[in-house]
């Protein structure tokens, strides 16, 4: 429909080389991403299978090493477990909150949005710092945990998986809320009114109308939150300490302390594949809806 | 309309909003309160109040130097990402390019891939083809992370606007620079502001890429804070963190006043 006018104006101007302008506009971005992202990632994957403990040549030994060691297996297991728990809790909080934000007055919704966005825009390092203070044995939360279970939480919530989950959910919640809010905003309130007029109660309207329509947001929110969870190491490291290693933390250690890049690269490739497969799988589910 | 929401649901929703609100703000508030602690060691709640830590932070190089480093890196990233990202968005929305959908996914990829992977990949890459971890590495990493956000905000704005305004300018004899300066760039304006905000924020807050690519000679503000947290946190870390949050609050308020937060984030 728009095509003829476009072509006509171009040919009438008699411009030579019509591809030149878009090429000039696009090439800086493509070159930067090629050099700063795609080639490095490709080289990382490549090095994980071509170098093992200083020797070159094709080998899957780095991967075998990851799966042979109890330390790395337990780090991966913990990453998986914590990420699942964090994803479930985050979405369980985000779902009602986002719905609430679409149904209250603009003023209250704006205040809630600001409360959600401010932490998102604050460096993870600063937020984790707040949690380190809060979870310490001499703080309110630490004392509270100590009184519940003096043995397990003798050092407050620092160095515990519960502490990691409490602080990580706060880091992740904004991502889930923003994703869900975007989807729920587009649900026509008339659909709910229709369901109510036809005799459905408030809760059954939520179950049969609102929930199914928010499912795409729920799926993409969960994907995003899980991917962020499984790849984060700053919060687990500062809150959990070295006794509770996670996959992203062992990658960081092997890359910057042990300087064994091919081995760190193998672990990163596993993480990368897991995230890509997850995104691929959930986008398939999403497109089938 | 049918009698809407049951009272107990309203009550529950209010409780949820208040509890989650406190939960979200709690760590930031705790950092702010810890920064006026008069004791040498961090404790919460603080035993006495004092502003001496702010004086220390603002008068010594320990944090001032990293702050300046973060600031200039952030501004540099913003400038580069905005120019490169806006150009790419114009190409993708105003020209018919074969495979434009694939190119768009290519440009968006760094949003999906965890930044820890970008960090280690860049570190290994630069160690082979350049002289290893350096400030250049941090800058490249931040640019890569920031470009997708600029592309998303700017092309979002461009897609909503009439593409024939530009054609009209062309037909009426506008030169290429007139077309850009008088038509295209004013159209992109709100997208550029939003993209610039994200770009600066990503760079200013990032600790992940910086941790992988740090070298002894360079320290950004998040690195300085992270380093103190691993070893000996004292209230001065809280003071500098609070100042960092204040910068963010100021920028956010500015945004709310000019463009509206909801629009920018959605």
Q: What is the pLDDT of residues A52-61, one digit of tens each?
A: 777 777 888 8
Give the burial class of B101: count Cβ atoms within 10 A of its Cβ; 0-12 exposed, 13-18 middle, 19 or more buried.
Answer: exposed
Task: Please tell me the distance from the alpha carbon of residue B217 to that of residue B109, in angstroms, as a whole number.
Answer: 31
Which residue of chain B comes nearest to A127, CA vs CA? B27
Task: Please tell me the distance from the alpha carbon of residue B42 to that of residue A277, in angstroms, as a whole number.
Answer: 43
Which residue of chain B comes nearest to A269, CA vs CA? B117
Spatial contact of A247 and A66, defined as CB atoms under 8 Å apart: no
- Any CB–CB contact under 8 A between B149 and chain A? no
Distance from CA of B150 to the nearest CA of A (A): 11
Q: What is the mean pLDDT of chain B?
A: 86
Judged by CB atoms closer than 8 Å, whether chains meet at B261 and A279 is answered as: no
Q: Interface pTM (ipTM) of the complex? A: 0.85
Instruction: For residue A231, give the nearest of B96, B116, B141 by CB distance.
Output: B116
Judged by CB atoms closer than 8 Å, whether chains meet at A33 and B144 is answered as: yes
**What does the pLDDT look like over A22-42, one tens digit per residue?**
889 999 999 999 999 999 999
pLDDT for B190 beyond 70 = yes
Contacts of B236 in chain A (CB under 8 A): none
pLDDT for A16 beyond 50 = yes
Top mean pLDDT of A182-196, B14-28, B102-116, B223-237 is at B14-28
Comparing CA positions, the residue from B155, B153, B138, B132 lying closest to residue B209 is B138
Instruction: For residue A125, give the nearest of B125, B207, B265 by CB distance.
Output: B207
Tell me the average pLDDT across B54-74: 87
Higher pLDDT, B260 or A226: A226
Judged by CB atoms closer than 8 Å, whether chains meet at A173 and B21 is answered as: no
pLDDT for A3 beyond 70 = no
Tell me the average pLDDT across A44-64: 83
Give the burial class of A194: count Cβ atoms within 10 A of its Cβ; 0-12 exposed, 13-18 middle, 19 or more buried.
Answer: middle
Task: Please tell me the distance from the alpha carbon of residue A76 to that of residue A63, in angstroms, as a whole number.
Answer: 13
pLDDT for B170 beyond 70 = yes
Strands A55-56 and A51-52: antiparallel
Task: Please tell me the distance from the alpha carbon of residue B244 to that of residue B47, in angstroms, as a whole number.
Answer: 24
Instruction: For residue A26, give the nearest of B103, B176, B252 by CB distance.
Output: B103
Q: Cα A87 to chain center, whole Å?
A: 9
Which residue of chain A comes nearest to B3, CA vs CA? A196
Tell me the average pLDDT across A145-150: 82
- Any CB–CB contact under 8 A between A241 and chain B? no
- Any CB–CB contact under 8 A between A35 and chain B? yes
Higher pLDDT, B263 or B46: B46
Taking the CA atoms of residue B97, residue A25, residue B80 and residue B126 in that order, the dihedral angle to the nearest 10 degrees is 70
Judged by CB atoms closer than 8 Å, whether chains meet at B124 and A43 is answered as: yes
Distances (CA, A) of A145 to A132, A141, A255: 14, 6, 35
Judged by CB atoms closer than 8 Å, whether chains meet at B44 and A136 is answered as: yes
Contacts of A264 in chain B (CB under 8 A): 120
Judged by CB atoms closer than 8 Å, whether chains meet at A129 and B238 is answered as: yes
Give the tokens for residue A205. 């309207």
Sequence-ordered list of residues with C-beta below 8 angstroms from that of A270, at least 6 positions apart, any chain: A63, A66, A76, A247
Task: Please tell me the distance from the alpha carbon of residue A175 to that of residue A91, in angstroms, as a whole number.
Answer: 10
Sequence-ordered list of residues with C-beta below 8 angstroms from that of A198, at least 6 positions apart, any chain: none
- Any CB–CB contact under 8 A between B101 and chain A? no
Q: How confident is the model at residue B132 (pLDDT cuts 50, 70, 90)?
A: confident
Concatenate the DSSP letters of all residues of B109-127 into one string. HHHHS-HHHHHHHHHHHHH
Give the burial class of A253: count Cβ atoms within 10 A of its Cβ; 0-12 exposed, 13-18 middle, 19 or more buried.
Answer: middle
Sequence-ordered list of residues with C-beta below 8 angstroms from that of B10, at least 6 positions apart, any chain: none
Sequence-ordered list of residues with C-beta below 8 angstroms from that of A100, at least 6 positions apart, any chain: A112, B13, B16, B17
Among B22-26, B52-56, B112-116, which is the least confidently predicted range? B52-56
Instruction: For residue A134, give the nearest of B26, B114, B207 by CB distance.
Output: B26
Among A8-17, B40-49, B117-126, B189-198, which is the least confidently predicted range? A8-17
Q: How confident is the model at residue B249 (pLDDT cuts 50, 70, 90)?
A: confident
**What does the pLDDT look like over A233-277, one tens digit per residue?**
899 999 998 889 999 999 998 888 888 888 999 999 999 999 988
Give the tokens for residue B96. 């018919």
DSSP structural state of residue A38: I
* Bond before B94 cis per omega within 30 degrees: no
**What does the pLDDT look like over A79-93, one tens digit per residue?**
999 999 999 999 999
Q: Residue A41's pLDDT is what?
A: 93
Tell me the average pLDDT across B196-212: 91
pTM: 0.86
- Any CB–CB contact under 8 A between A257 and chain B? no
pLDDT for B51 beyond 90 = no
Neighbours of A89 (CB within 10 A): 18
Compute and round to an integer the Cα radius of gyration of chain A: 25
Judged by CB atoms closer than 8 Å, whether chains meet at A279 and B226 is answered as: no
Percent of chain A with pLDDT over 90: 42
Q: Residue B43's pLDDT is what?
A: 67
Give the burial class of B259: count Cβ atoms within 10 A of its Cβ; 0-12 exposed, 13-18 middle, 19 or more buried.
Answer: middle
Distances (CA, A) of B117 to A40, A125, A249, A278: 10, 18, 12, 16
Contacts of A112 in chain B (CB under 8 A): 17, 21
Judged by CB atoms closer than 8 Å, whether chains meet at A30 and B230 is answered as: no
Concatenate the DSSP letters of all residues of A60-74 into one string. -HHHHHHHH-HHHHH
Q: Residue A12's pLDDT is what?
A: 42
Comparing CA positions, the residue from A218, A189, A203, A204 lying closest to residue A289 is A218
Task: Please tell me the distance from the alpha carbon of residue B252 to that of residue B193, in angstroms, as a whole number.
Answer: 12
- Any CB–CB contact under 8 A between A131 and chain B? yes
Give the tokens for residue B200. 């600066």
Q: Write out the H or E segment, with its range, that includes residue A56.
A: strand A55-56
Q: Residue B265's pLDDT is what?
A: 58
Tell me the average pLDDT across B199-217: 90
Instruction: For residue B112, give the nearest of A129, A178, A279 by CB distance.
Output: A279
Judged by CB atoms closer than 8 Å, whether chains meet at A43 and B87 is answered as: no
Judged by CB atoms closer than 8 Å, whether chains meet at B16 and A170 is answered as: no
**What does the pLDDT look like over A193-243, one tens digit per residue?**
888 888 888 888 888 888 888 888 899 899 999 999 999 989 999 999 888
**What does the pLDDT look like over A97-137, one tens digit per residue?**
999 999 888 888 888 988 998 898 899 999 999 999 889 88
Spatial contact of A214 and A68, defined as CB atoms under 8 Å apart: no
Top mean pLDDT of A285-289, B84-88, B236-240 is at B84-88
Selected for mutation to probe chain B from A98, A130, A253, A271 (highest B CB count within 10 Å) is A130
Distances (CA, A) of A182 to A8, A33, A218, B56: 39, 28, 11, 44
* Secondary structure of A99-166 as H, E, C letters: HHHHHCCHHHHHHHHHHHHHHHCCCHHHHHHHHHHHHCCCCHHHHHHHHHCCCCCCCCCCCCHHHHHH
Judged by CB atoms closer than 8 Å, whether chains meet at B266 and A29 is answered as: no
């Amino acid at each position: 429909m728009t095509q003829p006018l476009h072509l006509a104006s171009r040919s009438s101007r008699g411009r030579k080389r019509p591809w030149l302008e878009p090429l000039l506009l696009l090439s800086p971005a493509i070159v930067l991403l090629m050099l700063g992202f795609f080639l490095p990632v490709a080289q990382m994957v490549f090095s994980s299978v071509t170098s093992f403990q200083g020797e070159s040549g094709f080998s899957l030994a780095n991967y075998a090493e990851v799966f042979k060691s109890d330390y790395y297996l337990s780090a991966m297991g913990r990453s998986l477990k914590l990420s699942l728990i964090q994803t479930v809790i985050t979405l369980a909080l985000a779902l009602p909150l986002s719905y609430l934000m679409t149904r209250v007055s603009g003023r209250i919704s704006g205040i809630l949005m600001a409360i959600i966005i401010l932490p998102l825009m604050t460096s993870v390092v600063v937020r984790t710092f707040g949690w380190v203070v809060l979870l310490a044995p001499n703080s309110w939360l630490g004392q509270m945990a100590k009184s519940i279970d003096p043995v397990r939480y003798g050092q407050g919530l620092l160095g515990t998986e519960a502490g990691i989950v409490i602080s990580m959910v706060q880091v992740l919640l904004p991502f889930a809320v923003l994703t869900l809010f975007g989807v729920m905003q587009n649900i026509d309130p008339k659909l709910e009114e229709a369901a109510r007029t036809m005799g459905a109660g408030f809760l059954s309207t939520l179950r049969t109308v609102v929930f199914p329509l928010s499912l795409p947001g729920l799926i993409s929110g969960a994907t995003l939150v899980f991917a962020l969870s499984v790849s984060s190491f700053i919060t687990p490291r500062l809150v959990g300490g070295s006794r509770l290693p996670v996959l992203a933390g062992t990658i960081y250690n092997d890359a910057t302390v042990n300087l064994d890049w091919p081995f760190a690269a193998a672990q990163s490739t596993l993480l990368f594949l897991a995230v890509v497969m997850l995104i691929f799988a959930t986008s398939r589910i999403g497109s089938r809806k | 309309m049918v009698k809407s929401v049951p009272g107990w649901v309203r009550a529950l929703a209010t409780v949820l909003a208040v509890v989650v609100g406190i939960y979200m703000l709690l760590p930031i508030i705790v950092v702010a309160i810890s920064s006026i602690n008069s004791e040498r060691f961090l404790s919460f709640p603080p035993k006495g109040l004092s502003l001496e830590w702010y004086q220390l932070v603002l008068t010594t190089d320990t944090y001032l130097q990293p702050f300046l480093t973060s600031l200039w890196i952030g501004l540099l990233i913003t400038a580069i990402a905005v120019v490169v990202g806006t150009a790419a968005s114009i190409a993708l929305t105003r020209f018919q390019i074969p495979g434009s959908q694939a190119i768009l996914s290519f440009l968006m990829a760094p949003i999906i891939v965890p930044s820890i992977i970008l960090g280690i990949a860049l570190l290994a890459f630069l160690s082979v083809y350049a002289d290893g971890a350096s400030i250049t590495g941090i800058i490249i990493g931040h640019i890569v992370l920031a470009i997708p956000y600029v592309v998303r905000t700017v092309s979002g704005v461009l897609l909503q606007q009439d593409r024939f305004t530009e054609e009209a300018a062309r037909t009426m004899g506008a030169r290429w620079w007139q077309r850009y300066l008088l038509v295209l760039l004013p159209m992109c304006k709100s997208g550029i502001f939003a993209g610039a905000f994200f770009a600066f924020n990503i760079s200013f807050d990032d600790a992940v890429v910086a941790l992988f690519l740090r070298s002894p000679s360079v320290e950004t503000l998040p690195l300085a804070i992270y380093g103190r947290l691993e070893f000996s946190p004292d209230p001065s870390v809280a003071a500098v963190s609070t100042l960092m949050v204040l910068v963010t609050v100021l920028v956010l308020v500015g945004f709310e006043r000019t463009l509206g937060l909801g629009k920018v984030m959605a």
